[in-house]
Amino acid sequence: MPELLSPALVYVVAAILLPFIPQGLPRQITMLAVPFLGVAVFWDLSYGTYGSLNLMGMHVGLMRIDALSYIFGLIFSLAAFLAAIYAWHLRDTVQQVGALLYIGSAIGAVFAADLVTLFVFWEGTAIASVFLIWARRTEGSYATGMRYLIVQIGSGLLLLAGIILLYLETGSIAFNRMELGSLATWAIFLAFGIKCAFPLLHNWLQDAYPAATVTGAVILSAFTTKLAVYALARGFPGTEMLIYIGAVMTLFPIFYAVIENDLRRVLAYSLNNQLGFMVVGIGIGTPLALNGTAAHAFCHILYKALLFMSVGAVLFRTGTAKGSELGGLYKTMPWTMVFCVVGAASISAFPLFSGFISKSLILSASADEGHYIVWLILLFASAGVFHHSGIKIPYFAFFAHDSGKRPKEAPLHMLIAMGLTAALCIGIGVYPAPLYALLPYDVDYQPYTTAHVITQLQLLFFSALAFAVLMKTGIYPPELRSTNLDTDWTYRRLLPAAIGKLQNAVVGTWRFGVRLTEARLDRLLTGVYRAHGPQGALARTWPTGSMVLWIAVLLGVTLLLTYM
């Protein structure tokens, strides 16, 4: 049994036991304790693969511990702990069990040494996480959850197809570095890409996260996409295409984020943008770049959770997270505002905040490798993310025009969760050495050089100035209640419309065919009827006399013909 012990098992057992633990303090303590128990399983283990067994001739490894899986396992556990504090008030068994299974699956997937184990947990994250959306229990969230589930399960099936093909090809299911080329690796790549929200495959993210519950969105923001980043970093480091995919990912969501009204959706767009940085790092694939990806994922999980927590607290108190309905909340929710600003400064990579010490690794790596255009795009995306996440979120929620709303400050447990997360964001930013020590490669990197600090401050302050000028001149687009069309339009409107048209065409053709054959059949039947019907020529009863007459005529003709 100890051979099979894995952090995932801890979460699964807790999820099974949880409904029998009474709500209130016992259950709250359990939720807080589970992440610690999970970490305790792998905390002390030396690098290697544990829980190996042979399953139908395939070599399965439940727990592979190396530098890459270790740092992801650690940050996932930390996020689980912070989310448990944030969700202290929750009395919803569905969400609690869903969250435990979801987080357990994500951690299990990170430690998976083979692709079959990865697949099982990959699907686990999909199925468990949808309950955090359905827990809202409205018609809209049900439909959104369904869309989310279809995309996530689709990613899983693609992964399974890829694994089967790969097994047929190589006879191994080990999860190691792969080369793009065969159908198998492309399927796996695409499966990772869907979960990582690659451009055009991204929209499930912005669709689903704002539909989750207050606490659900915080939990969702941490795991699914970062699991995909981990899988890409493990399977496809140094794949050049990822550099360009990542660059596009950093770029286009920021345009949407500027015009989006729902602040949780703005965060989902900026999440996508941040994933782009990590994907670029994987694509570059040098030790510095991969370190950057791991470090950025670590910091990102914290500051993104912090931002979702603060906007969630606003939603919790006011009933809305829409920019057009909010404003002026700093008066009565000052602490939430402060924590939001810390998250905003971290995602914007202000010096002394966590984003600065992780993002600069990726930017430096791209410059090192001479990717001029990509570097310019990343620089633009950095300014852009400051613009919409750094300024827009705190500004429209807590300042801007006074909405007249005077909600009470967030409850204590939320403030504690946000305070701890904010402290971590600042702590990592000020003293990055412990984080750097956790990174997969030994790289000596110094983020705080004069040039780095000055250039970054220039970028940020001038961007802030641009915001101020656009605000003052009234050019800045106001927050409006609206829906913005994204790629989901293709499957929510275009495809159904096209299928509707196709259906009409098929039905029309069928009806026309039926009408045509019916007319023919009618004519045929009337013909038959005319001949064979009661009045038909062939059905008439003829008098015996005329019969005799006709026979006589027939005989006469025969006689005549014989004598001729």
Partner 1 sequence: MTGHSDGSKDDPKAFSWLSRHLLWVDNPRYVDRLVWGLAVVCLALASADFAYHKHSYFPIEDIPGFYGFYGFVMCAALVISAKGLRVLLKRGEDYYAPNTVEAEEHPEFDLDREKFDA
Of 10, 34, 315, 347, the residue at the interface with partner 1 (CB under 8 A) is 315
Q: Shortest approach of partner 1 to residue 125 CB, angstroms?
A: 21
CB of 418 to partner 1, least distance (A): 14
Residue 59 vs 492, nearer CB to partner 1: 492
Spatial separation of the C-alpha atoms in residues 323 and 261, rounded to whole Å: 5
Question: Residue 536's Cα: distance from chain center in Å?
Answer: 74
- Which segments of 236-353 does DSSP mark as H helices, in order? 241-259, 263-284, 287-318, 334-347
Which position among 81, 86, 102, 375 is part of the footprint of partner 1 (CB under 8 A)?
375
Binding of residue 472 to partner 1 (CB under 8 A): yes
Q: Does 477 bind partner 1 (CB under 8 A)?
A: yes
Contact 107, 124 (CB under 8 A): no
Phi, psi of 261, deg, nearest 5: -95, -40
Judged by CB under 8 A, the chain residues 446 through 465 that form the site for partner 1 are 450-451, 454-465
Q: 8-67: which residues touch partner 1 (CB under 8 A)?
A: none
Measured CA to CA in angstroms, residue 123 lies from 104, 133, 149, 151, 195 at distances of 12, 16, 10, 11, 11
Q: Do 183 and 177 form a contact (C-beta atoms < 8 A)?
A: no
Q: What is the dihedral of CA 54, 3, 435, 413, to 10 degrees?
A: 120
In whole angstroms, how close is the CB of 368 to partner 1 at the nearest point? 7
Q: Which of 1, 475, 537, 538 is the binder for partner 1 (CB under 8 A)?
A: 475
Centroid of chain to Cα 354: 24
Half-sphere exposure of 12 (CA within 13 A, CB side): 13
> Which residue's CB is nearer to partner 1, number 91 or number 520?
91
| 370 vs 534 by CB, closer to partner 1 | 370
DSSP state of 319: S
- Our CA dihedral for 416, 419, 420, 422, rounded to 10 degrees, sits at 160
Determine the straight-line distance between the first and last CA of the chain, rounded to whole angstroms.
Answer: 114
- Contact positions with partner 1 (CB under 8 A) in 66-95: 89
Q: What are phi and psi of 320, to 5 degrees?
A: -150, 150
**Cα–Cα distance between 461 and 468 in angstroms, integer?**
10
Residue type (1 letter), 34: V
Stretch that binds partner 1, among 57-65, 267-275, 351-359, 470-478 (CB under 8 A): 470-478
Q: CB-wise, 258 or 352, nearer to partner 1?
A: 258
Question: 417: how many CB neighbours lie within 10 A of its CB?
Answer: 26
Counting residues that bind partner 1 (by CB under 8 A) gives 87
Query: Cβ 499 to partner 1, closest distance in Å?
Result: 16
Q: Which member of 16, 29, 170, 331 binds partner 1 (CB under 8 A)?
A: 331
Among residue numbers 135 through 174, which ones bind partner 1 (CB under 8 A)? 135-141, 143-144
CA distance 308 to 306: 5
Q: Does 445 help bind partner 1 (rule: CB under 8 A)?
A: no
**Residues in 332-371 that interact with partner 1 by CB under 8 A:** 332, 334-335, 338, 367-368, 370
Report the nearest approach of partner 1 to the CB of residue 415 (Å). 12
Q: Is 485 in the site for partner 1 (CB under 8 A)?
A: yes
- The footprint of partner 1 on residues 266-305 (CB under 8 A) is none
- The span from the CA of 14 to the CA of 20, in Å, is 10
Residue 328 and residue 322 in contact, taking contact as beta carbons nearer than 8 Å: no
The correct pick among 409, 427, 443, 487 for binding partner 1 (CB under 8 A) is 409
Nearer to partner 1, 117 or 366 (CB): 366
From 121-129, 218-226, 323-331, 436-444, give the range in contact with partner 1 by CB under 8 A.
323-331
- Which of residues 12, 52, 153, 325 is near partner 1 by CB under 8 A? 325
Rounded to the nearest 5°, which phi and psi values hold at 52?
-85, 140
Contact pick of 154, 238, 287, 328 for partner 1 (by CB under 8 A): 328
Instruction: Compute the least distance from the CB of residue 476 to partner 1, in Å.
Output: 6
For residue 524, give Cα distances in angstroms to 56, 513, 521, 534, 535. Answer: 66, 16, 5, 16, 16
Site for partner 1, residues 175 to 214, rule: CB under 8 A: 210-211, 213-214
**Alpha-carbon span 126 to 113, nearest angstrom:** 20
Binding mask 219-258 for partner 1 (x = CB under 8 A): -----------------------------------xxx-x
Contacts of 466 (CB under 8 A, 6+ apart): 387
Which residue shows structure tokens 């980043």? 229
Quick one: 186 or 335, whose CB is closer to partner 1? 335
Write out the two tokens for 117. Answer: 């184990």
Q: How far is the CB of 30 from partner 1 (least distance, A)?
A: 21
In angstroms, what CA-CA distances link 193 with 151, 283, 490? 11, 13, 19
Query: Which lies closer to partner 1 via its Cβ, residue 11 or residue 375?
Result: 375
Of residues 331 and 520, the one with the C-beta less far from partner 1: 331
- 479 neighbors 322 (Cβ within 8 angstroms): yes
Q: In this chain, which of 53, 200, 423, 469 binds partner 1, going by CB under 8 A?
A: 469
The only residue of 286, 476, 487, 490 in contact with partner 1, by rule CB under 8 A: 476
User: Looking at beta carbons only, is 49 or 455 nearer to partner 1?
Assistant: 455
Residues 490-519 that bind partner 1 (CB under 8 A): 492-493
